[in-house]
Structure 1
Amino acid sequence: MWERAMIPTDRGTFEVFVRGEGEPLCITHLYSEFNETGDRFANLFVLHRKVFLVNLREAGQSPKASNPAELDMDETVEDLEAIRQFLGFEKWEFAGHSTGGMLGLMYAVRHPKSLSALIVVGAAASKDYAGQPDCIYHPDHPLFSRMQELRHLQLQPDIAAEKKQTYSQDITKLSLFKSENYAQYFGGAIRKGVATSRLEHFSKSDFPRFDLTRELANVRIRTLVMCGRHDVQCPIRCSEEICKQMPNSEIAVFEESNHYPFLEESDQFAEYLANFLKS
């Protein structure tokens, strides 16, 4: 179990879950809601670092937004900075998967002196990832209609918890190289929710203007970019673009993975991660 802490800052009091020892590393996702059971992605880091798993504004017991702009990605980065400052770290590392990785890239662009290293998994540097036919969010993708249907059902108001969980599972299965292995990857006691207000805000506000491609060249933070060869959410060319733009980055590609290489090829992922964090 992860240890729960409430972190008071001048931007509100944030719910954070802590586990591990060593140098500090921050992990979050743009619209996930964490609890004491932790997170499958974050669990891989606790062998090497003291991990701070952050519930962002409107997730868990973290503060509510007084206006929609407080949910913007750039404002979210400032919330993370406030948490770092309260904890007293001159720098910390950041790791993020999917929209968590996108947030990490924005963090690196906005506050490069606050990060000592960055790990980005299955992410993209701009909204253009959805404009590619091999992305599941593109109308030409064969799974586009099913994904849109499930997203709509997931965001219904007053939806029963069991139904919401079922829709989330079906969405995840669309992003696995072998969907039949879902129970193997996502079994156990970890239970993670979705902060629907944050998901809606990302879709309607952040996504249409998200583009960091011209700014990445100025980021000198040591960065590890990882991606599944068959990623349908952020296709592999998105990770290749990030690595090409960032001068101090390296890329690891997982040949039998979709959007979740840390589960689908967990041993290889753990090896890459350990080598990066040790060096």
Structure 2
Amino acid sequence: MADNKTTSTVTMDDGVRLNVKILGQDSAGSKPLLISLHGAPGLSTLAEPEASFGYLANLYRVLVFDARGSGASDKIGPFTHDRWIEDIEILRKWAGAETFILAGASYGGFIALDYAIKHGDRLQGLILRDTWANGKVGPMNALANILTSNRVKVDVARQVRLWSGTSLNDQDHAEGVQEILPIFTPPPEIVPPKEQNESTEFQGSVEFYSATQNAAFSENMPRFDVRHRLKEIKTPTLVIVGRHDYIAPVACSEEIANAIPNARLEIFELSGHSPPSDEPEKFERILSSFLKSEI
């Protein structure tokens, strides 16, 4: 891994192969490691965190990867938080780091929170973007905001299937996501569409895999509730959220930031679900300030 940007296939302990990219790789491996997790299992890919965190490659080794069940990685389960956390641990060891900075966006934030509670001693810093701590209420709030929005016209039954993890097949999953795309961006009265950037959530080659999404929302979400354990996270934490995020509203990030002892909350007033693409200059400034002052 001597090149500045390397792409590798890394095999997990159960034989599943993950598509992994390291940005800013140095031959000595002397730079600190930052691992960033994408959101939207079964849809999003490493293109999202690469676009958001790639600018740090001169200071960090930025490791991004397609989680199992997403992108170019094997579509082999189990698609559970415990298994995804173990995959992170294997990648950390593969990269040769005892400690690192972990970033998680949207669904990746759920995994990051669970990792921080389980392996907090491994973390130098934690970065959470547009996520929630209560998997029972979070999807219901997102669905309610979608169904009451005047920005999208949706098939109600299909949205219920999407957010309950019961999509019929890959096409049903794809149609469910595609019909709600406008709600991921800031409203037009805040930022005119012609001035909006493509959401990092859907950058790269998009491939819809409903089995991963279904497992995430039908099996994982009902069990995910870390609110009472947030106080256990001692690592410096940056919590980022868009003011106009209707998937993981500001109140969700406020709850997380208020409960983690050493957390800093930053609300992006002109952003929806993706501040890195909605307000990229501010995102880079806030992130760099946090890394410089807290890590």
TMscore range, shorter length: 0.7 to 0.9
Is the aligned partner of 1:52 residue 2:52? no
Name the residue aligned to 1:186: 198
Match of 1:4 among 2, 7, 20: 7
Equivalent AA in structure 1 for residue 135 of structure 2: K
* Other-structure match for 1:19: 23
Partner of 1:254: 268
For residues 92-129 of structure 1, what are the alpha-carbon distances to aligned partners after superposition, in whole Å with 9 as ceiling and x for unaligned? 21111111111111110111122211110100111254
Distance in 2, Cα, partners of 1:20 & 1:93: 15
Secondary structure of the corresponding residue to residue 215 of structure 1: helix
Contact 1:9 1:86 in 2 (8 A): no
Among 67, 86, 105, which residue is 1:78 paired with? 86
For residues 72 and 63 of structure 2, what CA distance do their matches in structure 1 show?
Answer: 15
Confirm whether residue 105 of structure 1 aligns to residue 105 of structure 2: no
Q: CA deviation at 1:29?
A: 2.6
What's the counterpart of residue 142 of structure 2?
136
- 1:278/1:213 CA distance change after superposition, 3 Å: same
Find the partner of 2:281 among 255, 262, 267: 267
Q: Is the 8 A contact 1:41 1:262 kept in 2?
A: no
The Cα of 1:64 is off from its aligned counterpart by 4.1
Given the alignment, which residue of 230, 241, 263 partners 1:227? 241
Q: Percent identical across equivalent pairs?
A: 26
Alpha-carbon distance in 1 for matches of 2:170, 2:272: 31
Where does residue 28 of structure 2 map in the other structure?
Answer: none
The letter for the 2-side match of 1:71 is F
Letter in structure 2 aligned against 1:142: T
2-side partners of 1:256 and 1:229: how far apart?
7
1:213-224 to structure 2, matched below 5 A, reads 213-224=227-238
Normalised to the residue count of structure 1, the TM-score between the two structures is 0.83
Alignment deviations for residues 13-45 of structure 1 (CA, whole Å, 9 cap, x no partner): 32212223542111223515566xx52443232
Task: Give the counterpart of 2:102 among 94, 100, 105.
Answer: 94
3-state SS in 1 of match to 2:86: helix
Distance in structure 1 (CA, Å) of the matches to 2:44 and 2:7? 10
Q: Greater shift after overlay, 6-15 or 96-105? A: 6-15
Note closer, same or farther for the CA distance 1:124–1:34 as it changes in structure 2 (3 Å cut): closer
The C-alpha deviation readout for 1:54-96, integer Å capped at 9, x for no partner, is 2122224434435xxx211122111111121222210121111
Per-residue CA deviations over 1:165-217 (Å, capped at 9, x if unaligned) read x7644322112113563884228983333432211111110111110011110
Aligned partner (choices 108, 111, 122) of residue 114 of structure 1: 122
Alignment partner, residue 172 of structure 1: 181
Name the aligned partner's letter for residue 8 of structure 1: T
Cα distance change, pair 27–187 in 1 and its aligned pair in 2 (3 A): closer
**Distance of 1:276 and 1:147 partners within structure 2:** 41
Stretches of structure 2 lacking an aligned partner (at least 5 in a row): 26-30
- The alignment status of 1:159 with 2:162, answered yes or no, reads no
Using the TM superposition, give the Cα deviation of residue 145 of structure 1 relative to its aligned residue in structure 2, in angstroms: 7.6
Closer/same/farther in 2, CA of residues 50 and 192 from structure 1, 3 Å limit: farther
Equivalence map 1:194-209=2 (5 Å)? 194-209=208-223
The answer for unaligned runs of 5 or more in structure 1 is none
Q: Which amino acid aligns with 1:84?
A: R
Distance 1:50 1:149, change over 3 A: farther
The count of aligned residue pairs is 269
Task: For residue 117 of structure 1, give the secondary structure of its aligned residue in structure 2.
Answer: strand
User: What is residue 240 of structure 1 aligned with on the other side?
Assistant: 254
Residue 264 of structure 1: how far off its partner (Å): 1.6
3-state SS of 2:144 partner: coil
Alpha-carbon spacing, 1:3–1:169, altered in 2? closer, same or farther (3 Å)? farther
